[in-house]
Amino acid sequence: MLELPEVEVLRKDLEKEVVGKRVKDVTVQTPSVVRPFHRNRPEFVKALEGRKIEAARRRGSTIFLDLDENLTWIIDIGDQGSLHRETATEDLAEDTHLAVSFTIGGAIHLSEAAEEPTIHTGVVPTEEALEAAGIPVDALDLLDDNPTWMEFGRFLAAADKPLKLLLTDPTYIVGIGPVYSDEFLWEAGLRHDHPSSTLSTQEVRRLYRATQEIIVAAMKAADSGLDESEADNVIDEDGEVAVHLRVFGRDGLPCPRCRRLIKRTRIKKGIYTYHCEQCMI
């Protein structure tokens, strides 16, 4: 799963690669990826072909490519999707659901190795883009909004939820999922079930600093978004966890801080956390 740090790297790559270019051809291999934005493939193709890409934005883990005539191309990478550059003549792979080429050459492909792809894309009026993407206007983006630690503390107190559930709830915080929520909490030495409203000033500052430092480190580790055709930047094709992660996916291995074994705990259906019982309070 791509989370905020990897998607920000992808956004920066798109800014360099496609901003200023005009769309030439659009090929949709899987009709479901353009829903619910469009009724069918031809409607999406008509909306995107011939448009000039003027800016690349991100909110949470969703990409927004602003087009001419006040339109925006929304790209939701989904659970295991990838967006990568190709030549304009490159054959579409079996797991490629969308290919977009440009008038001056080159193309980008949107892929996902799944029977039922979770990626979604569409073209909407710019002023409706956030709502169309299902992103609450008041949800916090830890990178774009760049709150102070005091603002972050007030946000945590008002939310009053267990930390893991708060960090991964897109109605409160966008772009953070199972991976970096665990990394934040381990770095801050805080348990997943610690109520956000009972954090001390010191704990708020530790968690705030952890979010800032880990997002920056993860962006450096991601290196490049468009050059990687792998769907996941944190777990490779052999199931190995990326070296910059300290606890996620490392159950049964020693905690880097205290050497006690990392545990994987089920919080609720479909939600797990990797943590150290010794040094997270």
Where does 149-275 sit in CATH, by number? 1.10.8.50
Q: What is the largest CA-CA distance in the chain?
A: 58
d(CA 262, CA 272): 13
* Alpha-carbon torsion angle 224, 227, 233, 235, nearest 10: -140
Q: Determine the pLDDT at residue 11.
A: 96
Place of tokens 């930390």: 163
Domain with CATH 1.10.8.50 in the chain: 149-275
Instruction: Kindly tell me if the per-residue pLDDT of 240 is higher than 70.
Output: no
**pTM of the predicted model, to two decimals?**
0.92
Provide the percentage of residues in the chain whose pLDDT is more than 70: 95
For the chain, state the CA radius of gyration.
20
Domain with CATH 3.20.190.10 in the chain: 4-132
- 4-132: which CATH number, 1.10.3720.10, 3.20.190.10, 3.30.300.30, 3.40.50.970? 3.20.190.10
Q: Determine the pLDDT at residue 226.
A: 81
Place of tokens 């704990």: 203
State whether residue 221 is helix, strand or coil.
helix
Q: Determine the pLDDT at residue 234.
A: 64
Query: Of 114, 91, 110, which Cα lies nearest the Cα of 100?
Result: 110
pLDDT-derived band of residue 239, with 50, 70 and 90 as boundaries?
low
